[in-house]
């Protein structure tokens, strides 16, 4: 028993000594390359600082919207079922809400192409006038001007078609539409380096998308009203005339209510505003620099160990 115990203690001590030797070797390796590691970290960190300084502040503008549930006309269960069988919506469930409708348009390329062309966004987003509103860290824009050129658009060297495509994809990422599940309030927001442009994007998209949805829905609504009026004239059944008249009346109510609202199916709680100059949402420059510094240290140490590994292999081959 004592012999086994002594053997185990000896093995344990040997493992500790080996670990200590390994740690000392690792420390020696880092010590031999410490200036190279530090130099590499300084270079990478310096580049990350330049990158962070080249990025203008990013600002957000948003509007709060309430779905107009109470603006929908209601009809009796029997008529609602009849309308459903006919494929007519007079305010019942089953249709997409404002969030789904707006998001569907936001990610529909044909609609967005018309939108960006109507508002001339490919030229406005990166115009020299818009860039005058950019704000930079410490008020220094020298790095940005050096990399981009004063008033130079990133889209200058591409075709009109590609510029429109890039603008559409950019806006799809810029505008965010989401609903608070508890309050049902919908938030439509946009981020941009020009705080005035962020507000403009929210206002223009809300206005254009709302008008599109209203136009499309009201065309179908008018066709359905005309159909029911024609059916009323062609039937002699009094009970059926009454039911059809109620359906037509519900559709007329829907049209009147839609005309009474500034935006289709939503009520605007708060209007988008221009963010205060210090109320930026990005970029997180300090985080960029810290992550770059830590990453460069790790890569530098790894590189030192890798060089030592290669040297060890060469020495073994020479023996």
Between 128 and 95, residue with greater pLDDT: 128
Between 247 and 119, residue with greater pLDDT: 119
- pLDDT score, position 95: 66
Low-confidence winner among 102-106, 184-188, 213-217 (lowest mean pLDDT): 213-217
Give yes or no for residue 15 having a pLDDT over 70.
no
Between 253 and 189, residue with greater pLDDT: 189
Between 28 and 36, residue with greater pLDDT: 36
Give yes or no for residue 316 having a pLDDT over 50.
yes
pLDDT, tens only, 42-54: 999 999 999 998 8
Give yes or no for residue 299 having a pLDDT over 50.
yes
Tell me the DSSP string of the chain: -HHHHHHHHHHHHHHHHHHHHHHHHHHHHHHHTHHHHHHHHHHHHHHHHHHHHHSPPBEEEEEEEEE-GGGS----HHHHHHHHHTT--SS-SSS--HHHHHHHHHT-HHHHHHHHHHTTHHHHTT-HHHHTT---GGG--HHHHHHH-TT--TTTTS-HHHHHHHHHHHHHHHEEEEE-TTT--EEEEEEESSHHHHHHHHHHHHHHHHHHHHHHHHHHHHHHHHHHHHHHHH---HHHHHHHHHHHHHHHHHHHHHHHSSBTTEEEEE---PPPTT---B--HHHHHHHHHHHHHHHHHHHHHHHHHHHHHHHHHH-
Averaged pLDDT, 208-236: 86
Give yes or no for residue 292 having a pLDDT over 50.
yes
Between 193 and 140, residue with greater pLDDT: 193
Beta bridge partners of 266: 67, 263
What contacts 177, CB < 8 A, 6 or more positions away?
Answer: 99, 102, 103, 106, 186, 187, 188
Q: Tell which residue, 248, 242, 257, has the closest CA to residue 226.
A: 248
* Percent of the chain at pLDDT exceeding 90: 42
Q: Tell which residue, 217, 251, 216, 215, has the closest CA to residue 231.
A: 251
Between 296 and 8, residue with greater pLDDT: 296
- pLDDT score, position 27: 81
Give yes or no for residue 88 having a pLDDT over 70.
no
**Do 285 and 57 form a contact (C-beta atoms < 8 A)?**
no
Averaged pLDDT, 24-29: 79
Give yes or no for residue 171 having a pLDDT over 90.
yes
End-to-end CA gap in the chain: 44
- pLDDT score, position 306: 86
Cα(152)–Cα(41) distance, integer angstroms: 32
Low-confidence winner among 21-35, 113-127, 231-245, 290-304 (lowest mean pLDDT): 21-35
Give 179-183's long-range contacts (Cβ < 8 A, gap of 24+): 179/97, 179/98, 179/99
pLDDT averaged over every residue in the chain: 81
Q: Tell which residue, 245, 270, 304, has the closest CA to residue 75.
A: 245
Give yes or no for residue 78 having a pLDDT over 50.
no
Give yes or no for residue 173 having a pLDDT over 80.
yes
The number of residues in the chain equals 319
């Amino acid at each position: 028993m004592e012999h086994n115990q002594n053997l185990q203690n000896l093995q344990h001590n040997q493992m500790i000594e080996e670990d200590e030797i390994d740690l000392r070797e690792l420390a020696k390796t880092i010590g031999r390359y410490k200036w190279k590691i530090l130099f590499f970290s300084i270079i990478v960190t310096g580049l990350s600082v330049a990158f962070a300084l080249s990025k203008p502040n990013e600002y957000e503008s948003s509007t709060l919207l309430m779905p107009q549930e109470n603006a929908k006309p209601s009809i009796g269960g029997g008529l609602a079922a009849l309308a459903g069988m006919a494929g007519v919506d007079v305010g019942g469930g089953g249709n997409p809400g404002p969030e789904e409708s707006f998001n569907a348009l936001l990610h529909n390329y044909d609609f967005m192409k018309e939108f960006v062309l109507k508002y001339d966004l490919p030229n406005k987003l990166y115009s020299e006038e818009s860039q005058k509103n950019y704000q930079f860290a410490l008020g220094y824009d020298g790095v940005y001007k050096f990399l981009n050129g004063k008033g130079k658009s990133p889209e200058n060297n591409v075709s009109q078609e590609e510029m429109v495509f890039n603008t559409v994809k950019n806006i799809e990422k810029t505008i965010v539409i989401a609903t608070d599940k508890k309050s049902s309030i919908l938030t439509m927001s946009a981020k941009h380096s020009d705080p005035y442009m962020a507000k403009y994007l929210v206002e223009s998209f809300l206005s254009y998308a709302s008008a599109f949805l209203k136009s499309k829905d009201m065309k179908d609504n008018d066709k359905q009203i005309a159909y029911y009026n024609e059916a009323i004239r062609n039937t002699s059944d009094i009970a059926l005339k009454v039911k059809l008249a109620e359906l037509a009346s519900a559709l007329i109510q829907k049209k009147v209510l839609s005309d009474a609202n500034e935006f289709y199916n939503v009520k605007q709680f708060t209007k988008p505003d221009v963010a205060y100059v210090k109320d930026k949402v990005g970029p997180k420059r300090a985080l960029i620099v810290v992550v770059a510094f830590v990453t460069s240290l790790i890569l530098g140490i790894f590189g030192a160990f890798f060089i030592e590994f290669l040297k060890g292999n060469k020495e073994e081959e020479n023996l």
